Amino acid sequence: MRRVLCPVENIYVAQRSRAILSCALHGPVDPAVLSAAFEAVTAEQPQLRTRIVPDGDGHALEFLPEAERPRLRVRAGGEEVHGEELNTPLTVGGPLTRAVLVTDPDEERHTLFLSIDHVIADGHSAVALLNTVWDRYRELIGGVSAPLPPVAEFPEPISALLPHSDAADTAKYLERRVEKVGRHPAELVPYDVKSTEEVPGEPHRIEVRRLLLDTDQTARLRERARAEGVSVHSLISAAVLLAARRRLDGPDPRLLGCLSPVDLRSRLSPPVSAAVMIAAVTMHLQVLPVGEETDVLELAREVGDGLRDFLDRGDHFQEIRIMPSTPLHPTLHLGTVIVTNMGPVPGPRLPEGTRVTDVRLAPARENYFPQAGRSPIMACVATFDGRLAIEFPHHTACFSRPFMRELGDEVHTSLLALAKSDGELHPAATV
């Protein structure tokens, strides 16, 4: 059985991008039961039992043979496994997810890693998958073992769920967008690493610089955003835009683009649950003049107003309709910064005696093109258990560790200045 990918899903095939979730735990974990839980969830989600195959001019999902379906792998290890998962692609023509449990039974410390191809999932459905695996685990530990029958019916792609639109209106919208980005292209931040540079004995690789706020700092940042009449997303976007601007020469304002992925699930009628594993995201690109002295709150209001107007006009639906045109018009979604924001996200519920110590969500892809000389800076934002985290994925052949460390520290300092409740800033906590 096959399910042909829609034009939007075919775009993700070429990108070879994936979401990587890690869930760190303390307490007892039974690997055999967790393996059974993962297989049960795999049976409930047909996409998890498929691979991508050519189909005419596009691609399709095709069920894997039973022996090739994803299974939980259990291994020993430590923090280094996060980097290994970032740098281990999903096999071309193989399963679209990978599950690895890294365990230290003596210390009762464990980390579950899930890698999920963006063809079949966005951030919300990736988190829902993680939580569902732990729900099944909790049920099995509690003695609920009745298996559900495998599901064979694929959910409809997001492009099939959009409200009706006249094709001529969509064509005009695309024409306006192409003309606008042609007149006002966003500048990109140059790489600080030459494509020919290599560290002796240390090949280039994908890494993530992490910025983390504690629960008190996160709460105060949210309070500040409400007081100023802006969103937390706008504040973070402004802070990242200003950090990017400091890495461009000259005193004059520069045109910088903020690309904000927009979740469509809650905006469809009827809404689509996060448990439905599809990519349900569109993009909003806003190009703004940003100077060295631009005020972060003023910039946040501009970002927020632009995104609000975009949604009020219903352009988020038109934007996903034109997404298949991106290969012909790559600047349609080319921003100086890409700032995702999952908002507050529920974490896994575990059996009594086992607790979550950390949850992370970071994107990765296979190609970073250091030969291009410049690219967007990506910030992946999520708030688990009241702690806001920003993950800055990068490739060391493009942006160096010191570059990303300094940029992350600047963003962290800006956010803490907005969130401070007294006259002192807290020390940076990027890792």
Backbone angle region of 134, left / alpha / beta, with phi > 0 → left and psi within -120 to 50 → alpha: alpha
In this predicted structure, the answer to whether residue 179 has a pLDDT above a threshold of 50 is: yes
Contact 256, 288 (CB under 8 A): yes
Sorting pLDDT into bands at 50, 70 and 90, what band is 222? very high
Sort 405 into a burial class: Cβ within 10 Å, 0-12 / 13-18 / 19+: middle
In this predicted structure, the answer to whether residue 422 has a pLDDT above a threshold of 50 is: no
**CATH of the domain spanning 163-345+365-419, picked from 2.30.30.60, 2.30.30.140, 1.20.120.160, 3.30.559.30:** 3.30.559.30
What is the total residue count of the chain? 431
In this predicted structure, the answer to whether residue 278 has a pLDDT above a threshold of 80 is: yes
Picking from 217, 257, 206, 216, the residue whose alpha carbon sits closest to that of residue 394 is: 206
In this predicted structure, the answer to whether residue 221 has a pLDDT above a threshold of 80 is: yes
Architecture of domain 2-141: 2-Layer Sandwich (3.30)
pLDDT of residue 429: 53
d(CA 130, CA 113): 9
Which tokens belong to 392? 């800055």
Phi, psi angles (nearest 5°) of residue 109: -115, 135
Listed in sequence order, the DSSP H helices in 292-400 are: 296-312, 315-321
d(CA 309, CA 274): 25
Cβ atoms < 10 Å from Cβ of 168: 8
d(CA 224, CA 374): 34
Helix, strand, coil content of the chain in percent (nearest 5) = 35, 25, 35
Q: Where are the domains of the chain?
A: 2-141, 163-345+365-419
Write the CB contacts of 113 (distance below 8 Å, at least 6 apart in sequence): 20, 21, 22, 81, 82, 85, 98, 99, 100, 101, 102
* For residues 72-98, average pLDDT: 93
Picking from 132, 131, 134, the residue whose alpha carbon sits closest to that of residue 27 is: 134
Sorting pLDDT into bands at 50, 70 and 90, what band is 79? confident
* For residues 255-278, average pLDDT: 94
The string of pLDDT tens digits covering residues 39-57 is 999 999 999 999 999 999 9
pLDDT of residue 325: 94
CA atoms within 13 A on the CB side of 298: 7
Print burial letters for 369-392: b (CB count within 10 Å at least 16), e (below 16).
Answer: ebeeeebbbbbbbbbbeebbbbbb
Which segment of 137-151, 164-178, 291-305, 322-336 scores lowest on mean pLDDT?
137-151
Sorting pLDDT into bands at 50, 70 and 90, what band is 77? confident
Helix H or strand E segment including 1 = none
Contact 256, 247 (CB under 8 A): no
The string of pLDDT tens digits covering residues 243-254 is 999 999 988 999
Sorting pLDDT into bands at 50, 70 and 90, what band is 194? confident
